Amino acid sequence: MTTVTPLWEFVDISKAYPGVLANDKVNIKLLPGSIHGLLGENGCGKSTMIKTLSGVQQPDSGQIKHNGQPVLIADPQVARNFGIATVFQEFSIVPTLSVGENIFLGNMPQSRFGVINWAKVRNDAARVLAEMDVDVSPDVITGTLSVGEQQLVEIAKAIAMDARMIILDEPTAALGEDEIDRLHQLLRNMRSRGTAILYVSHRLDEVERIVDEVTILRNGSVVRASGETKIDVSEIISAMVGGDIGEHYPKEQNTTENVVLEAKGLATKSGVSDASLTLHQGEVLGLGGVLGSGRTEIARALFGTDELTAGQITLKGNPVKFCREIDAIHAGLALVPENRKYDGLFFNFRAGGNITAASLGGLSRFGIMNLKVEEQATRDLIHDLEISSQAEEKTVNFLSGGNQQKIVIARWLFSDSDILILDEPTQGIDIGAKVAVYKLINKLTRAGKSIILISSDHDELLAMSDRIAIVQHGAIVRTVNAAELTHSDLVRASGETSHIKPQEVLA
């Protein structure tokens, strides 16, 4: 294995940001025909390494070698010329452009006179999407797609480059199991053609399935180089966190007989067709389904964001009608949205402003805010939820994904909501933070609060829910006890409409 010259190699690369040494003399060897997992907790420096290799930033010290020769990757164009394609953690698609334009952005097929060859753009984009088994037309405006589909376009962009080095920074955070399977198949095909692949994900079960070797980072340094760890979830976890995290899914049963929320026959213009559910006090009700099945839309319907065209919501026996979010909030509902970056966080605020945003009325008298209460409550919640203490002083864009997610949840703890809708609450956060979120769920249900949990991670959904409602095409088709369901039941039940085609997609 060591006889192969690495395609790319990092030698003692360091990179500091103001106040943080994000990479501390890291070394990594990326071999052709190998899928290399890059793992570690939020903020350990994975994306920093990727940005360096993609020419987005320059390292402070150290060397990058290409086929054994030191090279300078001055900017992203240079990286691209070296055959490096990167799917960044932050979306880099342009929402107002079509899917085809996005796929070839910066790389447009042109005729001799510099005129864009639109027919080729469309055909090639359609071919790449077909290879990926993605059912999206190249002509659709990308911004109108769901988060998961946008992520697939992002990946298509890298694949269209036919690169020799593919870097994927959490490509699966927004994907369902089905899409993940298809992505894995695609990556295996590329591997067999000698492509080097660097793969980052916080979903360790899928990492275990796909990678050939792993490098584990902690606090900016490599703690396990390739070959030093077995590719096994529990070993990886203990190397990542430097200890034991205890039970992965510490589920508590706190459900009672009291019905707190009942929805009958909900429908909206956004695609909810027939959603009925009951939620008990202290219960975690999971919503299971494939990408685009309408789980997020059901959440929005419950929260008053999307107008109901049919159906009735009843809270503790009283029929209610939410015209706006604020009505739902006053009635004790809370929504932690799927995409914390898009509509969850205020990046211009520190933890305090984010935590109190939904409770400004209660925090003020005659329009004047009680900042002492805000400060104290923020400090308490930061302490209780084990959020980084930096959150008090720094705006939240400087925090890791896990800390950000806890802050969004903390907002609804502060507002003292009774019913929390958590849409993909563990997306993109590390294993330790995930367990922290699970414990938080327990703490909430123990206090008599109820939770609607949406998750594309089937294991998590099965483990943390009391009951699971299966969503297909915007309708809840049935609700079953989580204990009676297995992983494959859930896949089958939610994905009856989907397709798994284990064909040689890139052959």
Among residues 150, 281, 390, 445, the one that binds another protein under rule CB under 8 A: 390
> What are phi and psi for residue 458, nearest 5 degrees?
-60, -40
Q: Angle at Cα 161 formed by Cα 157 and Cα 164, nearest 5°?
A: 125
Token pair 């589920």 in the structure block, residue: 251
Within residues 143-202, the interface with another protein by CB under 8 A covers: none
Output 46 or 434, the one with its CB closest to Mg ion. 46
- Rounded-to-integer distance, Cα 133 and Cα 88, Å: 21
Q: Is residue 75 a contact point for another protein (CB under 8 A)?
A: no
Report how far residue 80's alpha carbon sits from residue 374's, in angstroms, rounded to the nearest whole number: 48
Residue among 430 and 460 whose Cβ is closer to ligand ATP = 430
C-beta closer to Mg ion: residue 434 or 458: 434
CA distance from start to end of the chain? 26
d(CA 425, CA 296): 12
Contact between 406 and another protein per CB under 8 A: no
For position 126 contacting another protein by CB under 8 A, the verdict is no
240 lies in the site for ligand ATP, by CB under 6 A: no
- Return the residue of 14, 34, 47, 445 that touches ligand ATP, per CB under 6 A: 47
The phi and psi torsions of 104 (rounded to 5 degrees) equal: -110, 15
230 burial (CB, 10 Å; 0-12 / 13-18 / 19+) is exposed
Q: Which is nearer to another protein, 138 or 220 (CB)?
A: 220
- Copy the structure tokens of residue 480: 């079953």
**Binding of residue 343 to another protein (CB under 8 A):** yes
User: Per-residue x/- mask for another protein, residues 219 to 238, rule CB under 8 A?
Assistant: xx------------------
User: What is the smallest separation between the CB atom of 200 and Mg ion, expressed in angstroms?
Assistant: 7
Question: Following DSSP, what letter does each residue of 271-337 receive, concatenated?
Answer: S--BEEEEEETT-EEEEE--TTSSHHHHHHHHTTSSPEEEEEEEETTEEE--SSHHHHHHTTEEEE-
Spatial distance between the Cα atoms of 78 and 277, rounded to a whole number of angstroms: 54
DSSP per residue, 154-180 = HHHHHHHTT-SEEEEESTTTT--HHHH
Size of the site for Mg ion (CB under 5 A): 3
Write down the least CB distance from residue 411 to another protein, Å: 7
Q: Quick one: tokens of 53?
A: 């290799």
Q: Which is nearer to ligand ATP, 221 or 278 (CB)?
A: 221
- Report how far residue 29's alpha carbon sits from residue 222's, in angstroms, rounded to the nearest whole number: 12
Verify binding: residue 224, ligand ATP, rule CB under 6 A.
no
Contact between 342 and ligand ATP by CB under 6 A: the answer reads: no
325 binds, among ligand ATP, another protein, Mg ion, none (CB under 5 to 8 A by kind): another protein
Of the residues 14, 34, 42, 268, which one makes contact with ligand ATP according to CB under 6 A: 42
22 binds ligand ATP (CB under 6 A): yes
What gap in Å lies between CA 160 and CA 167, rounded to an integer? 13
Q: Does 45 bind ligand ATP (CB under 6 A)?
A: yes
- Closer of 323 and 507 to another protein (Cβ): 323
Residue 420 backbone phi and psi in degrees, to 5: -110, 130
Q: If we measure between CA atoms, which residue out of 127, 226, 210 comes closest to residue 175?
A: 210
Quick one: which of 13, 39, 44, 285 contacts ligand ATP (CB under 6 A)? 44
Q: Which is nearer to another protein, 153 or 329 (CB)?
A: 329
Task: Tell me if 305 contacts another protein by CB under 8 A.
Answer: yes
Return the C-alpha torsion angle 230, 231, 237, 242, nearest 10. 30
| Binders of ligand ATP in range 65-104 (CB under 6 A) | 89
Closest residue by Cα to residue 293 from 146, 158, 124: 146
Nearer to another protein, 17 or 249 (CB): 17
Q: Does 98 bind Mg ion (CB under 5 A)?
A: no
User: Is 20 a residue that touches another protein (CB under 8 A)?
Assistant: yes
52 binds Mg ion, rule: CB under 5 A? no
CB of 46 to Mg ion, least distance (A): 5
CA–CA separation, 338 and 463 (whole Å): 20
Residue 388 near another protein by CB under 8 A: yes
Considering only residues 426-455, where is the footprint of ligand ATP by CB under 6 A? 430
Told to check if 89 binds Mg ion by CB under 5 A, we report yes
CA atoms in the 13 A half-sphere facing the CB of 58: 8
Q: In whole angstroms, what separates CA 179 from the centre of its chain?
A: 13
Residue 40 or 294: which CB sits closer to ligand ATP? 40
Q: Which stretch binds Mg ion (CB under 5 A): 46-54, 92-100, 227-235, 300-308?
A: 46-54
Residue 6 or 220 having the CB closest to another protein: 220
Provide the H-helix boundaries in 113-249.
118-131, 147-160, 177-192, 204-210, 233-241
**Smallest separation (angstroms) from another protein to the CB of 199:** 22
Give the β-pairing of 467-472 and 284-288.
Answer: parallel
Can you tell me whether residue 462 is helix, strand or coil?
Answer: helix
347 touches another protein by CB under 8 A: yes
> Which residues make up the interface to ligand ATP (CB under 6 A)?
17-18, 20, 22, 40, 42-48, 89, 398, 400-401, 430
> Which residues make up the interface to Mg ion (CB under 5 A)?
46-47, 89
> Which residues make up the interface to another protein (CB under 8 A)?
14, 16-21, 24, 43-45, 60, 218-220, 303, 305, 324-326, 328-330, 335, 337, 342-349, 353, 356-358, 360-361, 363-364, 367-369, 371, 388, 390, 400, 411
